[in-house]
Amino acid sequence: MGEPVHGSAPDIAGKGIANPIAAIRSAAMLLSHLGHHAPAQRINNAVDEVLREGQFLTPDLGGKSTTAEVTNAILKKI
């Protein structure tokens, strides 16, 4: 089981404002640990691309996108 270092952030659960990137990168790290390096790299590359483009960012990163919008943008890049 993997979890971002910051924990699960129950105080903002269900509000759509949580930044999903740490959880997504944690999943990529777990895949890499299990020997699935190529899928892990695809995930990390997708996250990097979304961050670089800056169109889909959560409020903590200066954007206005929801958790779901950021996640969907990353999924589309994979």
Distance CA 65, CA 41 (A): 24
The pLDDT value given to residue 19: 95
Token readout for 51 is 């961050």
For residue 31, what are the contacts with CB-CB under 8 A and spacing of at least 6? 37, 39, 40, 43
How much is the pTM? 0.87
Cα–Cα–Cα angle for 50, 53, 58, rounded to 5 degrees: 60
Domain encompassing residue 53: 16-77
Predicted confidence at residue 10, as pLDDT, reads 83
For the segment 20-69, what is each residue's pLDDT rounded down to a tens digit? 999 999 999 999 999 999 999 999 999 999 999 999 999 999 999 999 99
Q: How far apart are CA 50 and CA 57, in angstroms?
A: 8
Residue 51 domain-assigned? yes
Residue 4 lies inside a defined structural domain of this protein: no
Domains identified in the chain, total number: 1
